[in-house]
Structure 1
Amino acid sequence: LIIVTILTKIMFPATIMNNCKAGSESRLGSGATKGSVEDQISRALTRWEKEYLGRGSILVKTDILRNMVIVTLKGVLTPAEHKLAQTHEGLLSVKKIRSDLIESGRHELERIVKEITGEDVVSFHTDVSTRTGERIMIFVLGDNLEKKLLDGEKL
């Protein structure tokens, strides 16, 4: 746990959200690359997890594909949740609780993605695998963010 905490602090410094400002404009400016936006989202969602859920995942990877932001979070379940999920009833319980937790923070997640990308979030989908402890989040945006980034448009 100590090693994971140290690696997380190195890989995901807490500076990402310090510059957040309300409003619809992205904070990345015209030099944003696809990779830099993906990195910003990964860092921001890691910080959100720690602040809102009390702990972060082990690894976060964000991919922008057309009008979607796809976030893969590994190591989101606790050892107790893994054990509970060994039965069908426990599995359903873990999925329900995790779903309710994310749903209660949904507006904040959508706000974070909008602040970074400058795009409205049209819909949000998520699920957690109780077998692997991995969560997938998909934010569907109002426009093709990947094309904008590859064309060098200002966000």
Structure 2
Amino acid sequence: MSKKVHEFNDMIRKLRKDKFGKGPERIHTVFVENMAISTLYGNLTPTEKFIASTADGLKMVHAARTSMIQDLYSESPPEGMEELIGSKLLHLFSDIKIDEDFAISVFVFEDNIRE
């Protein structure tokens, strides 16, 4: 893993830990054209797992782990992310599979990303 990917993953982990109380246990990121595609494993707290045991709770946890994180990034990307990547963050698309506790985030930047 390159230093750039490692630093990028650390930024993702720190933001999610700060906002949700737990960051992903493992992150795999690849840079493709103007996108950073991250697969995040082990995201949920024990409390979120408990809440997600009901249908309404699952919807609530899903919304928190998708819509809320997208809103956070749209307000302001993590400090240093755009400098590390060398391009402005335009969009974040994110989804999580609660029952398997893994998520995908696609970060779309203005310019192509160089490894």
Residue deviations 1:95-146 (CA, integer Å, cap 9, x gap): 122234313421333654312111111221001111111121111111221x
1:118 to 86, 89, 102: 86
CA distance in 2, matches of 1:125, 1:50: 19
Report the equivalent of 1:47.
14
The alignment's TM-score, normalised by the length of structure 1, stands at 0.63
Which 4+ residue blocks in structure 1 deviate beyond 6 angstroms?
none
Asked whether the equivalents of residues 70 and 93 of structure 2 are also in contact (C-alpha less than 8 Å), the reply is no
Report the equivalent of 1:136.
104
Number of equivalences: 114
Q: Which has the higher strand share?
A: 2
State the one-letter code of the partner of 2:31.
Answer: I
Within 5 A, what are the aligned runs for 1:142-153?
A: 142-145=110-113, 148-149=114-115
Within 5 A, what are the aligned runs for 1:1-155?
A: 35-106=2-73, 107-109=75-77, 112-145=80-113, 148-149=114-115
1:131 is paired with a residue of what secondary structure? helix
2:24 is paired with a residue of what secondary structure? coil
Return 5+ residue gaps in structure 2 as ranges.
none
CA distance in 1, matches of 2:64, 2:18: 18
Asked whether the equivalents of residues 110 and 121 of structure 1 are also in contact (C-alpha less than 8 Å), the reply is no
Return 5+ residue gaps in structure 1 as ranges.
1-33, 150-155
The alignment's TM-score, normalised by the length of structure 2, stands at 0.81
- Per the TM alignment, residue 91 of structure 1 is displaced from its structure 2 partner at its CA by 1.8
Question: Based on CA coordinates, which of the two structures has the bigger radius of gyration?
Answer: 1
CA distance in 1, matches of 2:48, 2:68: 14
Distance 1:132 1:141, change over 3 A: same
Asked whether the equivalents of residues 21 and 45 of structure 2 are also in contact (C-alpha less than 8 Å), the reply is no
